[in-house]
């Protein structure tokens, strides 16, 4: 049996030290994040583990942050049935379409398409 009886498939534990700074470089917060993985050290050495964690935050920053900030997803009133999943899918589609059309500033692009709905319909081929 790998690991122990409390964490049967754990092969590695790790700690990441983070310092968050403001735009001028002044430290705001210092924290530690801990993780576990079932990957053997030969499969995922420390540099790979760091890459995996950074990749997770890349997704968080590129998709979830945009959905939270640009689309104000956290204040959505849709909470029952399939509604939340459908709306998340539609928001992801909107983010993908805006990126595919080369918009570097998604908030600005969203305002632009809200002001000209015909232009927005042309983007989706309607």
For residue 94 the two structure tokens come to 């909107």
Say what the pLDDT of residue 74 is. 87
Predicted confidence band of residue 102 (pLDDT cuts 50, 70, 90): very high
Whether residue 1 is predicted with pLDDT greater than 60 in this model: the reply is: no
State the Cα–Cα distance between residues 68 and 66, nearest whole angstrom: 5
Neighbours of 118 (CB within 10 A): 8
pLDDT tens across 9-42, in order? 899 999 999 998 998 999 999 999 999 999 999 9
61: left (phi over 0), alpha (psi -120 to 50) or beta: alpha
Say what the pLDDT of residue 68 is. 87
The answer to whether residues 76 and 84 touch, using CB atoms and an 8 Å cutoff, is: yes
Say what the pLDDT of residue 65 is. 82
CA-based torsion, 74, 79, 83, 86: positive or negative: positive
pLDDT tens across 54-99, in order? 887 777 777 788 888 889 988 889 989 999 999 999 999 999 899 9
pTM, rounded to two decimals: 0.56
Q: What is the DSSP letter of 74?
A: G
């Amino acid at each position: 049996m790998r690991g122990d009886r409390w964490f049967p498939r754990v092969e590695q534990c790790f700690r990441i030290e983070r310092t968050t700074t403001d735009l001028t470089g002044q430290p705001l917060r210092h924290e530690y994040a801990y993780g576990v993985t079932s990957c053997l050290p030969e499969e995922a050495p420390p540099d790979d583990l760091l890459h995996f964690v950074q990749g997770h935050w890349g997704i968080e920053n590129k998709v979830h942050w945009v959905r939270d900030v640009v689309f104000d997803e956290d204040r959505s009133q849709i909470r029952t049935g399939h509604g939340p999943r459908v709306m998340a899918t539609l928001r992801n589609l909107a983010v993908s379409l805006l990126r595919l059309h080369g918009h570097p500033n998604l908030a600005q692009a969203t305002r632009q398409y809200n002001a000209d709905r015909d232009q927005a319909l042309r983007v989706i081929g309607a």
